[in-house]
Chain A
């Protein structure tokens, strides 16, 4: 298993709230308070050493508390390990330390949806109007009865309800459609979604309709593992900063020394915390090299690549709320739409011309109707299934166990560097029977 997993999703119960961006400051202050108070009292009492030790302990404990929330109380389990087929959306710009982790991630548009199916405004068709001035999809939210399509980019998706992403009866319905009515699915700023290519110049809110996929980085696990070291660094940094500040401020007398010490301690602690966080950020253990001799370089995933992904289906409560695959466990890329007339990917097209060449077994009308056409829907389901089998076999426990057997560890060719299972006799018959 080459994927990495540090987080653990948890079972959500009504009334419970996953760790959220808005909770972070209050939680961090609460976790810091006992240590800070102890430190301040110690400094006032002149027990500077105890004060700096309290700062070290406070920082380490706060990191552990936040890491635990981040790792174990942020992701709500939904439907377990799932697979999805789609296209990679535009890749978001660099994340920074401010984004709180070093995960690799991308969004994907699920098959068979077009780019123009993506919502360009809050989805008032699906969500019932909120009460009062609450934002759309604020819990406890309700759906319209029956739910209607959302606002698509070109207005053509609404003409066939089945092609709406939340209502498609296929991947959108099972993987993205909001389901937890006591958790928010708030619309997000256009600049944070792939719908408009992360165009920061556009303003407004949209309901998210892309599947977010995150391959886990180790940042918070490393922060947790290093917490005692980070705490020590912050304590020492604060002490050194205080000493330096006092030495500099001391030119202006005792008051200057005290002010310098306070400023120096804060600066030293922040500096040490920054260095520690950066260290955790760069502590990624690297990838386990799972290639065979002779494999060509993997290459990188680019926007519009057709992919099948496999990961754990969760609700990420840290943001405004959406469904995602976290951790992403495997990705396969494929770039042939057709192989010998068999379609490997489908995308409905309301403007498909009569003179166009539809995939085998489908008509131009099927292509125009999209998921409203039973034939098209069956074909899309079949395409999804074939890719899902290809990517998920590896996660079948029986196959995994089989793969560890010596007769399956060959790498050049089974007839060259393989071995005979113990029950089989040496073969003199043709190798293929």
Chain B
């Protein structure tokens, strides 16, 4: 009886609200029609919940630990540099070191910067592996033990980016080496952006500057390697006040399914980056002559061959440093062409 009386009283309160709800209903009429159409399509049955699993799209969150990953960026069609901004070498005293001028059997501190591309999920324990490779393309890796772990917070939190320090003793054998960092995360939103490489070599301009490095086929099938050069460098970032962040509707009821949201923002940013930094947007200019010998080579499994690169300025007035990226693309018989590695060559003229 108490419930009956409560309901009876609520009737009048609800009646008073109906006029306002008429306006809401008019506003919601398209949504009502969509719901009716969907109900008809589903024959007025609820989507199956199979007792096995549950779909929680919208609230199921995954972290996306990432690093400047040449393979991922190139796969998306962007130009890349092999001078990785997220891997830096220091003397143990903290002075930055040029990675192309390392001493043999010497201790260096390597700092790897890890980002999280997720606004929603952090990584309490993120393992980071560091390894070094003989300078070149497709060369084999040697781990720098032990792997380290770090805590990576959500994007824009105090613990993002996170920095991981390694102590690396360079090999006894003199030579050029490059470094590769790998972030390992089990439930990663995008596992393809976790490997970054730093491959830099500096050469003096002696008309021409000469570089040699090996190209190695680490696959189990023969592959054709094609080497291409460009002059891409990381852009000078604009000031943030030139950026416009698309407004986000706060009220979820104002959103339409699969419209807007971060995906649209992400897509728009990628499209802009592709327009401005797409691969082939940075060809070698007429001020320079880059000769790669050979430009195309076929390698058997595990075969390596030396490649020579000559870089010459056609402008005698050139002073300073200029970066050239040499990218190696491998194509197996009948397979797709994939990025196999690359190097960034810095030409200096004091």
Enumerate B126-166 residues with CB–CB distance to A below 8 Å: 127, 147, 149, 151, 153-157, 163
Q: Is B72 an interface residue (CB 8 A)?
A: yes
A198, A402, A415: which contacts B234 (Cβ < 8 A)? A415
- With contact pairs A328-B59, A420-B240 given, residues A289 and B10 touching in the complex (Cβ less than 8 Å): no
A27 to B8, CA, bound (A): 7
Interface pair A61/B273, CB less than 8 Å apart: no
User: How many residues from B make CB contacts under 8 Å with A?
Assistant: 122
A222, A287, A299, A426: which contacts B35 (Cβ < 8 A)? A222
Interface pair A390/B252, CB less than 8 Å apart: no
Interface pair A291/B189, CB less than 8 Å apart: yes
Among residues of A, the one whose C-beta sits closest to the C-beta of B146 is A340
User: Among A75-83, A87-95, A110-118, A372-380, which stretch is in contact with chain B?
Assistant: A87-95
User: Among B45-53, B216-224, B283-291, B341-349, which stretch is in contact with chain A?
Assistant: B45-53
A57, A288, A291, A416: which contacts B273 (Cβ < 8 A)? A416
Interface pair A104/B56, CB less than 8 Å apart: yes
B240, B252, B262, B264: which contacts A421 (Cβ < 8 A)? B240
Chain A nearest Cβ from B322, distance in angstroms: 15
Among residues of B, the one whose C-beta sits closest to the C-beta of A344 is B125
Interface pair A33/B269, CB less than 8 Å apart: no
Q: Which residues of A contact B35 (CB under 8 A)?
A: 222, 279-283
Q: Which residues of A contact B149 (CB under 8 A)?
A: 339-340, 342
B64, B240, B253: which contacts A407 (Cβ < 8 A)? B240
Q: Is A326 an interface residue (CB 8 A)?
A: no
B18, B54, B157: which contacts A106 (Cβ < 8 A)? B54
Enumerate A369-396 residues with CB–CB distance to B below 8 Å: 386-387, 389-391, 393-394, 396
Chain B nearest Cβ from A224, distance in angstroms: 7
Q: Which residues of B contact A228 (CB under 8 A)?
A: 18, 21-22, 25
Q: Is B211 an interface residue (CB 8 A)?
A: no
- With contact pairs A283-B34, A298-B62 given, residues A411 and B1 touching in the complex (Cβ less than 8 Å): no
Enumerate A206-237 residues with CB–CB distance to B below 8 Å: 215, 218, 221-222, 224-229
Interface pair A294/B192, CB less than 8 Å apart: yes
Interface pair A275/B58, CB less than 8 Å apart: no
Chain A nearest Cβ from B190, distance in angstroms: 5
Q: Is A254 an interface residue (CB 8 A)?
A: no
Q: Is B305 an interface residue (CB 8 A)?
A: no
Among residues of A, the one whose C-beta sits closest to the C-beta of B154 is A393
Q: Is B172 an interface residue (CB 8 A)?
A: no
Q: Is B279 an interface residue (CB 8 A)?
A: no
Q: Is A202 an interface residue (CB 8 A)?
A: no
User: Among B116-124, B201-209, B293-301, B328-336, which stretch is in contact with chain A?
Assistant: B116-124
Q: Which residues of A contact B54 (CB under 8 A)?
A: 88, 91, 104-106, 300-302
A94, A279, A299, A300: which contacts B39 (Cβ < 8 A)? A279
Enumerate A328-357 residues with CB–CB distance to B below 8 Å: 328-336, 339-340, 342, 344
User: Among A39-47, A64-72, A171-179, which stretch is in contact with chain B?
Assistant: A64-72
Q: Is B270 an interface residue (CB 8 A)?
A: yes
26 contacts between A and B (CB under 8 A): A2-B58, A27-B3, A57-B15, A95-B46, A226-B32, A227-B25, A282-B35, A287-B257, A293-B263, A294-B190, A298-B60, A301-B53, A330-B61, A339-B149, A391-B121, A407-B240, A413-B68, A415-B237, A416-B273, A417-B269, A420-B237, A422-B241, A426-B236, A431-B85, A431-B86, A431-B113
Additional A-B contact list (14), CB under 8 Å, known A61-B18, A279-B36, A293-B76: A27-B10, A31-B7, A57-B15, A64-B14, A104-B56, A274-B44, A282-B38, A285-B31, A290-B262, A405-B240, A412-B73, A418-B237, A419-B238, A432-B163
B residues adjacent to A (C-beta < 8 A): 1-15, 17-18, 21-22, 24-25, 28-29, 31-32, 34-36, 38-39, 42, 44, 46, 48-64, 66, 68, 72-73, 76, 78, 85-86, 88, 96, 111, 113, 115, 117-125, 127, 147, 149, 151, 153-157, 163, 186-187, 189-193, 234-245, 248, 252-253, 255-267, 269-270, 272-273, 277
What are the 9 tightest A-B residue pairs by CB atom distance, in nearest-first order?
A286-B257, A30-B7, A283-B35, A26-B3, A287-B58, A390-B122, A300-B53, A406-B243, A30-B4
